[in-house]
Structure 1
């Protein structure tokens, strides 16, 4: 008789198609970081500085995704990078990364549904915001509870909306630059304006590294979905290469267009933040091109982007908790999937934590800000874990006598790729709040960098309790096939 867990996993795999994976990986990297925060990035570092920062982080993300792709095509598994840390580095690292990442996305869902209320106030300012947030949470839970395919289809179409919006923006922006639409063409005048194209020097670029890093978070969903892909050896490499070119086109070209049309000193760029979600450099460009209703249209696009982020967050955190249960890092009930292939108990717990976090914004604002701050850097910590895991995987692979020709997909420029990702992620984490570090503002430092001690607590707890050690390269488990339930054997 077939194992019900394995049977449900097979159903999940059959539902994930290559077109979904590539579009969702792209959609996961296009969100409010591009539509909203890109303006503040240009204001902080100038047009040239913003372009350098986004290009550097984009290259780093590409190398990071090729690292994840090499491991995911060789050993596809749900919640992959926490499982890889367990197998290739130290079970304590896998434990800490898994819980850290789950916590991050559970909190992010709460932040996103709170943002939904801010966006809806643009049209319905007199309706209590919590109503919109509750509706959004119920909608996201329902999408994830119906079936795996319902999640993929929803994300696929939400991603298409974002992609089409950016393409239209680029065309209209180009026409505005050369003077076909709107006012007289701007050309390169704003790149030479005052202190442009570089403003605030290296500190300015480092500051934008942080903004760009947050903008690209979500691309690691390729690894989370690896265990549910019918043909990971084909779909994952294709998705990675498509994401690289699309990031280049969408992010780099979008930053270029915005910086050519709007001067970096413009107050509209300074207002581009999550606190004023209705202000977007995209909106300003559309308005300058003479398009009526631009603000309302962009607000609708930003709404779909936030819902997409919350939907992806619910999926990612649910699958991570599911994977951790199969590794023995969480209760066994979280590793059970229903007949539709949904790890329902993992979904329920994630939804509960997201709802409770959202409620703290009403009953305890300080607690809410504490939770949001605690999850702030966890995405970068996950990226560091991916880089370390891949470096160890490749070294163990060679040490044990394997040939690179055995790999279905090769990461680019090893070991440069993972080492570059490691260095830049550390720089981004340090640069999160350079002013507080320079001023020795311990309260601000504690709030900003709270994710780090929380991660260390998880890591040290598991390491001391189970007395785990760094796995020798010669003993790293490199079996070419893997079942989720086999991951339990890697627990110390």
Structure 2
């Protein structure tokens, strides 16, 4: 059943009455009806910025650096299956996020959505876990270690050098951040295309003195690797253990919704970017991984060392083995830009998470302060920049261990975020039904989103619970693995329970979720341009360009 204006007005009256307990920012509103207003920030990220951020956030150092360790654990076919499974989980999760983000395009995304659709305590717990994840300087550490391919200087020197442009990028207009990420995004795409083409040339025997490989490494040493145990059990253990590192590889996709308060036409541009993640994963990521499995054997001892340095990048190793002297340096340089981009995004995300928490009174209100002209939450940015000093932990011989900790902790927080995103969508759908709405009332909808939310929820829970299972195998106990894999879920429960006890929060009843007010805000504040469903059909060439670009 669809609703007319009078229906919306009736339900809006009930929903507005509940807004005293639900703090929500209405995009572009000039009043304080919805609490702290995102209009303090500057909406200057354009379609091409958010679209490129969506694309490049999928391709990080997980692919360029740690993919070798994944290949060593599970073999070529196991690796392809692992990337495909996590890719589908991520894609379906983003479709669910697209619908909730279009209905409530707020800075903080899933953090604020959890407070609206589930419970304020869920948003509090997730917000601080995501803040912790982004404050961990994994990107800067990766960048400093990548430079070790060329330099014998201490990583501390390069951490200091890399921190300066990150500070400049984040302390000025978000438009500068968008442009920088756009440029780095283009470099990442160039890197992917170069790796695929060079890998195919190498595999097909196009390098002088190198025989044609074909699917040789799929046959010898074989399609699947055994890890820890032998035989079929070892192959399964290797495959399942690889899933956690693959989760790390897909980290960053949530960043597109996190910046909703600084995006032009967020109800249109964020869903447009989110829904294409699934297609791009299939179209680009899987191709890059497939080529990798053709040019490097999983039993190469060098790729099994996952220490975050480019010397152990499987792509670099493959080109070095073929006697190609230039390509390894090019790959390393572009991998450096990728790692630096991740560090840059972490600072930006940390500031927006602090802004989101402060808007709910869950962090000091000083984090709401923004530059009067540039509208950048400079206090949050400054705190994130100060905490980049954690990157100096990698300057001693334990760099590999620190890199591994960052990776495991990031993976568990990512899975918790995916779980909350899926739960937000499920609660939103149930609230729509409870209040008499159909899905046709949503600003954006996708047929796969309702089922996709459940699939991604179940898959993410299973992956989270089994994230550190290898430490429970006989003779392989590792306290560091146990802590890094499960400290985030335990901390989430502690934060959630603590906030409920202190503030006495409750789960928002479905009938009290402010669906009517959200839909009324959408109806009375249309964005520029026509809705996506009303656009004329594109020509084939334009569709291809749109697929890769926007």
Structure 2 length as normaliser, TM-score?
0.80
Name the residue aligned to 1:443: 479
Q: Check whether the contact 1:376–1:451 (CA below 8 A) recurs between aligned residues.
A: no
Q: For the structure 1 residues 122 and 192, does the alpha-carbon distance in structure 2 shift closer, same or farther, using more than 3 Å as the test?
A: closer
Q: For the structure 1 residues 41 and 482, does the alpha-carbon distance in structure 2 shift closer, same or farther, using more than 3 Å as the test?
A: farther
3-state SS in 1 of match to 2:311: coil
Match of 2:247 among 192, 197, 213: 213
Q: Does 2:288 correspond to 1:251?
A: no
Q: For the structure 1 residues 78 and 115, does the alpha-carbon distance in structure 2 shift closer, same or farther, using more than 3 Å as the test?
A: same
Match of 2:195 among 163, 169, 175: 169
Q: Does 2:92 correspond to 1:54?
A: no
3-state SS in 2 of match to 1:172: helix
**Bigger shift: 152-161 or 372-381?**
372-381
**Bigger shift: 147-156 or 200-209?**
200-209
Name the residue aligned to 1:193: 220
Match of 1:298 among 305, 324, 331: 331
Q: For the structure 1 residues 88 and 291, does the alpha-carbon distance in structure 2 shift closer, same or farther, using more than 3 Å as the test?
A: same
Q: Does 2:387 correspond to 1:350?
A: no
Shift of 1:253: 1.0
**Bigger shift: 222-231 or 193-202?**
193-202
Q: Check whether the contact 1:66–1:412 (CA below 8 A) recurs between aligned residues.
A: no
- Report how many residues are paired: 477
CA distance in 2, matches of 1:369, 1:414: 35
Q: Check whether the contact 1:77–1:228 (CA below 8 A) recurs between aligned residues.
A: no
Match of 1:78 among 90, 107, 111: 107
Shift of 1:163: 0.9
Q: For the structure 1 residues 362 and 151, does the alpha-carbon distance in structure 2 shift closer, same or farther, using more than 3 Å as the test?
A: same
3-state SS in 2 of match to 1:270: coil
Q: Does 2:162 correspond to 1:128?
A: no
**Bigger shift: 55-64 or 424-433?**
424-433
Shift of 1:317: 1.0
Q: For the structure 1 residues 96 and 370, does the alpha-carbon distance in structure 2 shift closer, same or farther, using more than 3 Å as the test?
A: farther
Q: Check whether the contact 1:28–1:312 (CA below 8 A) recurs between aligned residues.
A: no
Match of 1:12 among 32, 42, 47: 42
Deviation string 1:417-462 (CA, Å, 9 cap, x unpaired) is: 1222122222322333212233494834234311122222211110
1:39-50 paired onto structure 2 within 5 Å: 39-50=68-79
**Bigger shift: 292-301 or 49-58?**
292-301
CA distance in 2, matches of 1:43, 1:441: 20
Q: For the structure 1 residues 7 and 89, does the alpha-carbon distance in structure 2 shift closer, same or farther, using more than 3 Å as the test?
A: closer
Match of 2:319 among 278, 286, 290: 286
Name the residue aligned to 2:16: none
Q: Check whether the contact 1:172–1:181 (CA below 8 A) recurs between aligned residues.
A: no
Match of 2:179 among 153, 159, 163: 153
CA distance in 1, matches of 2:224, 2:405: 37
Match of 2:442 among 407, 410, 424: 407
Q: Does 2:167 correspond to 1:141?
A: yes
In the alignment, structure 2 segments of 5+ residues that lack a partner are 1-28, 227-233, 522-550
Q: Check whether the contact 2:422–2:456 (CA below 8 A) recurs between aligned residues.
A: yes
Match of 1:429 among 464, 468, 472: 464
Q: Does 2:128 correspond to 1:102?
A: no
Q: For the structure 1 residues 407 and 3, does the alpha-carbon distance in structure 2 shift closer, same or farther, using more than 3 Å as the test?
A: closer
CA distance in 2, matches of 1:163, 1:458: 39
Deviation string 1:5-48 (CA, Å, 9 cap, x unpaired) is: 989837621x1111111111111111111111112212211111
Match of 1:268 among 285, 297, 302: 302
CA distance in 1, matches of 2:167, 2:85: 36
CA distance in 2, matches of 1:391, 1:57: 20
In the alignment, structure 1 segments of 5+ residues that lack a partner are 484-492
Q: Check whether the contact 1:47–1:196 (CA below 8 A) recurs between aligned residues.
A: yes
RMSD in angstroms over aligned alpha carbons?
Answer: 2.8
Q: Check whether the contact 1:172–1:289 (CA below 8 A) recurs between aligned residues.
A: no
3-state SS in 1 of match to 2:312: coil
**Structure with higher helix content:** 1
Shift of 1:149: 0.7
CA distance in 1, matches of 2:274, 2:331: 28
Name the residue aligned to 2:211: 184
Match of 2:355 among 322, 328, 342: 322
Name the residue aligned to 1:119: 146
Q: Check whether the contact 1:318–1:346 (CA below 8 A) recurs between aligned residues.
A: yes
Deviation string 1:352-388 (CA, Å, 9 cap, x unpaired) is: 2332x23556799899799847665222211111111
Q: For the structure 1 residues 24 and 453, does the alpha-carbon distance in structure 2 shift closer, same or farther, using more than 3 Å as the test?
A: same
Structure with the greater alpha carbon radius of gyration: 2
CA distance in 2, matches of 1:335, 1:99: 16
3-state SS in 2 of match to 1:377: helix
Q: Check whether the contact 2:169–2:176 (CA below 8 A) recurs between aligned residues.
A: yes
Q: Check whether the contact 2:149–2:310 (CA below 8 A) recurs between aligned residues.
A: no
Q: For the structure 1 residues 249 and 117, does the alpha-carbon distance in structure 2 shift closer, same or farther, using more than 3 Å as the test?
A: same
